[in-house]
Chain A
Amino acid sequence: MTFDWGGWSQFILALVGVGGLVSAHLLNKRGTQQQAVQQRAANDLAGRAQGFDEMKELVETYRAEIVRIEQGRDREQAAQARRCRSTLDHFVLAFTTLQGQVVSEAAKQAAEAAHVDVEMHLSEDHPEALA
């Protein structure tokens, strides 16, 4: 028994063509969505990297200021600066851990706790800085 492919081959090829077009359209859509997801992730990572750099510069500025005050003659101010240094060191430690483990929830919580400490320290000892 032989099967006549004459008209069927045309029909099958037409069907394959339509199926191919629909598949290509759906897959292209998926590729575009995937690209958008990657773009958002890249923006997030870039934001974190940018934030890390700016934070480092800020810490260095504060540290230099603390050293300058510590070396001054005013003993009360020097004692105050040492307290600032202690808070800053605590913050830097948490921040450095966070940098090493960007996606770790524990590191994020530790950095947030350190950030709260800094804000408490500022509100208690340097209320003018928050004004």
Chain B
Amino acid sequence: MPTRVRREALTRAVQANEMTQRAKWYLAVASCRHLLTGCIALALPGTFKSTSFLPILEAAPLWFWALIFVGAGISCGAAALSGHEGLARLGMGWSATSTLIVGAGLLIATFTGQLSSPTGPILWLAVAFKDFVVCAQPIRSPFEGLAEQLARRNQHRG
């Protein structure tokens, strides 16, 4: 009977699909950004000689920031590879906060007259807010799974 069919149909839920490709790529790029910055800071600390970094370096030594960045990179990279939502949210939060701190440090350098280029705080703060925007979004999109499921069904019919 139609009522029974309708009730049965509504009880069948769509399984949450895996992480979207968009989220995976975003995490992979964020991971590369943090790992490269962190590793360069660890291996070649002399390259961070711009006076713009002085407020950040006065707050904590370079190796400390390098470890923070490496940690964010590892978390984002592991999330991109495994598709694990918890790791992804940890990585994005870590990435957003660490980028925000550096952006704020460069902004302070503007007021202390130590900033060597005005683009530094603009870019770092923009990337930080971009990370925050991603934090507020779903990492997995159930609609993509649904669309894929319906597309497969239509292909079978076609």
Chain A residue at minimal CB-CB distance from B108: A9
Chain A 15-46 against B: per-residue CB contact (8 Å), 1 yes, 0 no?
A: 01100110111011011101100110111111
**Interchain CB contact under 8 A, A46 and B5:** no
The reply on B119 being an interface residue by CB < 8 A is: no
Would you list which residues of chain B between 128 and 145 have a CB under 8 Å from chain A?
Answer: 128, 132, 135-143, 145
A14 CA to B125 CA, complexed, in Å? 16
**Interchain CB contact under 8 A, B58 and A6:** yes
A20 CA to B132 CA, complexed, in Å? 9
A-B Cβ contacts below 8 A, count: 126
The reply on A55 being an interface residue by CB < 8 A is: yes
A54 CA to B4 CA, complexed, in Å? 11
The reply on A72 being an interface residue by CB < 8 A is: no
The reply on A106 being an interface residue by CB < 8 A is: no
Chain B residue at minimal CB-CB distance from A5: B112
A128 CA to B103 CA, complexed, in Å? 76
The reply on A82 being an interface residue by CB < 8 A is: no
The reply on A58 being an interface residue by CB < 8 A is: yes
**Across the interface, which residues of A come within 8 angstroms of B59, CB to CB?**
9-10, 13-14
The CB with the most chain B CB atoms within 10 A, among A5, A20, A49, A58, is that of A20
Nearest chain B CB to A108 CB, angstrom units = 12
**Interchain CB contact under 8 A, B143 and A38:** yes
Pick from A9, A28, A130: contact of B89, CB under 8 Å: A28
Stretch at the interface among B28-36, B37-45, B73-81, B93-101: B93-101
**Interchain CB contact under 8 A, A34 and B138:** yes
> Which residues of B pack against A, CB within 8 Å?
1-3, 5-6, 8-14, 16, 55-56, 58-59, 89, 92-94, 96-97, 100-101, 104-105, 108, 111-112, 128, 132, 135-143, 145-146, 149-150
- Pairs of residues from A and B, 6 with the lowest C-beta to C-beta distance, nearest first: A24-B93, A51-B9, A20-B97, A35-B138, A42-B142, A27-B135
> Which residues of A pack against B, CB within 8 Å?
3, 5-6, 9-10, 12-14, 16-17, 20-21, 23-25, 27-28, 30-32, 34-35, 38-39, 41-51, 54-55, 58, 91, 115, 118, 129-130
List, sorted by A's number, 30 A–B pairs whose CB atoms are closer than 8 Å: A13-B55, A13-B108, A14-B59, A17-B100, A20-B96, A20-B97, A20-B100, A23-B96, A25-B93, A27-B93, A28-B89, A28-B93, A28-B136, A30-B135, A34-B136, A42-B143, A45-B146, A46-B14, A46-B146, A46-B149, A47-B11, A47-B13, A49-B146, A50-B9, A54-B9, A55-B2, A58-B5, A115-B2, A118-B2, A130-B1
